[in-house]
Amino acid sequence: MDTYSAPLRDIRFVLEHVTPLSELTALEDLAHAESDLVAGLLEEAGRFAAQAIAPTNREGDQEHSRLVDGEVKTPESFKRVYQQYVEAGWGAVQHPAEFGGGAFPLTVANAVKEMITSANMSFSLGPLLTTGAVYLMTHHASDEQQQTYLSKMVSGEWAGTMNLTEPQAGSDVGATTTKAEPADDGTYRITGQKIYITYGEHDLTDQIVHLVLARLPDAPPGTKGLSLFIVPKYLMNEDGSLGERNDVQVVSLEHKLGIHASPTCVMAYGENSDGAVGELVGEPNDGMRLMFRMMNDARLGVGLQGLAISERAYQQALDYAKERRQGRGPTSEPGEQAPIIEHADVRRMLLTMKAYIDAMRGLTYANAHALDLAEHHPEEAVRDQQQKLADLLTPLSKAWCTDLGVELTSLAIQVHGGMGYVEETGVAQHFRDARIAPIYEGTNGIQALDLVGRKLPYDGGAFVKGVLEDIRAEVEALPDACSDIAERLAAAVDELAQTTEWLFAHRDTINDVLAGATPYLRMFATVVGGWQLAKAAAAAQQLLDDGDTGTFSEDFLQAKLTLARFYATQLLPQVHGLAPSVTAGADDLYAVTAEQLAP
């Protein structure tokens, strides 16, 4: 049965005991986000996600967004639910109070985003892009631009987009050719075409604020010559009302494997005039640096998609496994069929899904927690260290969680057996929807290159070594009841440290480093996931030892211990198998020609 229940106990456990919200509310800027208020907010968000948004998921997949007479029509249910989303203020949770936001920590906002994304990934993509646009503009737009656009973007009454790539560019954004010509009135005329623009056109909001990378005359080549522009769908009148339509048009919608209800647009700027009117954000030729503010926010948001869609698929697989009877179970009477959850291999698949989901939640919430400290901590040294930690965790969150999203939604189909391959059950949609996430916001291969090329060299390599030492220290502090977890996690950390040293030692042969980047990211994230589960196990054991489990049942806490042990014994060992791939070098990758690879 394709329904969704918000995993509030799991979310609350992470926020209370793994990446403690109390560390954030101890800061003056975030003191208002006290636990009872957050608990109520999350409960209401979970209700809204489950009851209002989740029922639109299947309908949106079947109905699609459609291009009709140059306008994009989203599924009928989306317009109703989006209005409810705006009225309830869910898009405003993390944004500054001065623009009407709730000023809650990103960690809390990400918990809300997780539930909304589980409910309907296609629906969630529009708010994801608007949130990223607001985040960029609060840091880099002028006061006038902020006053013009942000209050209605924060509320969700207006939407935002990110316009990066073009047909000839792909991931090589530096190949952008969209032009920006200065006009006499201080604005610019934007001409060119952009592809893969999520919610580039739709009927959910009156205004869409496009953030567009374009090239000024005489700009240097590559990414260093890109500038960032606000290009609204409608020009603004002096009184703040919407004016005439800007020369921004949707050319076509992509026909995709999944996320059918999310309009992925080809956008044309300036096709019917001397150019669409745009406003420069920040300084000329600084657009790529500014856009990374939005891209990194989106990368964490996309990592959450891997977690969220895995949770949705897991819940459906678990329900099916409890209901579907087939074969004889370990304690079945002769001739009696057992629920398939009684079979060992089905148990293995379900525990694999659940353990990875807990690990992904720990990683992505830790990433947001670091960003909150980097933004709000009063001490500069702490802010600097936490920003580095967030930078390190971001490629892990984006790549590992989205790879797992594909793997775990595939496992959910496997649990269903043949019925999983039939669209009627709905579980195949999760697999189709999940497949885009490893591709957009920088393919996962690019995330791996970013990890080894930009993040490992922090402080000459000392920062990453320090993170591994922190993990070791927490492993050594695990209670005796977690000794089996500690032993395996310590061995995995040692393996990761050795491959890290190998990468540093071979930096002069960069192809060898790049060849090992993807398995190295998988190693690193698998260890960090194990670390998060070990922290959860230690917290659960402490609550059990104290005899005061609070709002958590003993069964729930015992399950946390079991999941951490399952992860340590059955999933974490892959770290040792990945190490040879990291250190194999690039020789074999280049030992064959393209002609030799042909059939």
Give the pLDDT confidence of 397-413 residue by residue, as tens digits. 999 999 999 999 999 99
Task: Please check whether residues 138 and 224 belong to one and the same domain.
Answer: no
Higher-confidence residue of 174 and 140: namely 140
Q: Tell me which DSSP letter residue 173 carries.
A: G
Q: Hey, which residues does 50 pair with through a beta bridge?
A: none
Task: Please check whether residues 17 and 147 belong to one and the same domain.
Answer: yes
Q: Is the dihedral of CA 461, 466, 472, 475 positive or negative?
A: negative
pLDDT given at position 286: 95
Q: Chain-centre distance of CA 59, in angstroms?
A: 24
**Alpha-carbon distance 244 to 224, whole Å?**
33
Contact partners, residue 424, CB within 8 Å, separation at least 6: none
Task: Please check whether residues 88 and 195 belong to one and the same domain.
Answer: no
Q: Give me the mean pLDDT over the 465-487 stretch.
A: 96
pLDDT given at position 101: 97
pLDDT given at position 169: 72
Residue whose token pair is 């729930």: 556
How many C-beta atoms surround the C-beta of residue 71 within 10 A? 11
What tens digit of pLDDT does each residue of 66-80 get?
Answer: 999 999 999 999 999
Percent of the chain with pLDDT over 90: 92
Which CATH number do you get for residue 130?
1.10.540.10
What tens digit of pLDDT does each residue of 436-448 get?
Answer: 999 998 999 999 9
pLDDT given at position 331: 81
Give the pLDDT band of residue 296 (cuts 50, 70, 90).
confident
What tens digit of pLDDT does each residue of 199-238 get?
Answer: 999 999 999 999 999 999 999 999 899 999 999 999 999 9
**Alpha-carbon distance 429 to 420, whole Å?**
10
**Could you tell me if 452 and 480 are in contact, meaning their C-beta atoms sit under 8 angstroms apart?**
no
**Alpha-carbon distance 339 to 323, whole Å?**
6
Higher-confidence residue of 261 and 165: namely 261
pLDDT given at position 1: 62
**Could you tell me if 45 and 56 are in contact, meaning their C-beta atoms sit under 8 angstroms apart?**
no
- Judge whether 465 lies within some domain: yes
Give the pLDDT band of residue 259 (cuts 50, 70, 90).
very high
- Judge whether 330 lies within some domain: no
**Could you tell me if 158 and 207 are in contact, meaning their C-beta atoms sit under 8 angstroms apart?**
yes
- Judge whether 232 lies within some domain: yes
- Judge whether 418 lies within some domain: no
- Judge whether 45 lies within some domain: yes
Q: Give me the mean pLDDT over the 128-154 stretch.
A: 97
**Alpha-carbon distance 79 to 61, whole Å?**
15
Task: Please check whether residues 14 and 105 belong to one and the same domain.
Answer: yes
Nearest to 229 by CA among 215, 248, 250: 215
Task: Please check whether residues 462 and 544 belong to one and the same domain.
Answer: yes
> End of a domain among 232, 251, 285?
285
Number of domains in the chain: 3
**Alpha-carbon distance 307 to 409, whole Å?**
10
Question: N- to C-terminal Cα distance for the chain?
Answer: 44
Task: Please check whether residues 279 and 166 belong to one and the same domain.
Answer: yes
**Could you tell me if 216 and 274 are in contact, meaning their C-beta atoms sit under 8 angstroms apart?**
no
Task: Please check whether residues 111 and 170 belong to one and the same domain.
Answer: no
Q: Give me the mean pLDDT over the 419-430 stretch.
A: 95
188 is written with which tokens?
Answer: 């610019």
Question: What is the SS3 string spanning 322-364?
Answer: HHCECCCCCCCCCCCCCEHHHCHHHHHHHHHHHHHHHHHHHHH
Give the pLDDT band of residue 295 (cuts 50, 70, 90).
confident
Q: What is the pTM of this model?
A: 0.97
Q: Is the pLDDT of residue 461 over 90?
A: yes
308 is written with which tokens?
Answer: 């969220």
Name the 3-class secondary structure at 438: coil
> End of a domain among 155, 182, 204?
155
Q: Tell me which DSSP letter residue 257 carries.
A: S
Which residues are the active-site residues?
A: 441
Domain of residue 557, residue span: 447-591
> Considering just the CA atoms, what is the radius of gyration of the chain in Å?
24
**Could you tell me if 434 and 309 are in contact, meaning their C-beta atoms sit under 8 angstroms apart?**
yes
Task: Please check whether residues 173 and 120 belong to one and the same domain.
Answer: no
Q: Hey, which residues does 339 pair with through a beta bridge?
A: 325
> End of a domain among 267, 285, 303?
285
Contact partners, residue 586, CB within 8 Å, separation at least 6: 509, 511, 512, 514, 515
Task: Please check whether residues 192 and 101 belong to one and the same domain.
Answer: no
Task: Please check whether residues 19 and 137 belong to one and the same domain.
Answer: yes
Task: Please check whether residues 166 and 277 belong to one and the same domain.
Answer: yes
pLDDT given at position 583: 97
pLDDT given at position 167: 85
How many C-beta atoms surround the C-beta of residue 44 within 10 A? 14
**Alpha-carbon distance 553 to 544, whole Å?**
9
What tens digit of pLDDT does each residue of 11-21 get?
Answer: 999 999 999 99
**Alpha-carbon distance 88 to 92, whole Å?**
9
Which CATH number do you get for residue 278?
2.40.110.20
**Could you tell me if 42 and 111 are in contact, meaning their C-beta atoms sit under 8 angstroms apart?**
yes
- Judge whether 386 lies within some domain: no
For residue 273, is it left (φ>0), alpha (ψ between -120 and 50) or beta? Answer: beta
**Alpha-carbon distance 147 to 283, whole Å?**
19
Query: Exposed, middle or buried by CB within 10 Å (0-12, 13-18, 19+), for 4?
Result: buried
Could you tell me whether strands 188-198 and 248-253 are parallel, antiparallel, or unpaired per DSSP bridges?
unpaired
How many C-beta atoms surround the C-beta of residue 113 within 10 A? 29
Task: Please check whether residues 163 and 98 belong to one and the same domain.
Answer: no
DSSP string over 383-428: HHHHHHHHHHHHHHHHHHHHHHHHHHHHHHHHHHGGGGGSGGGSHH
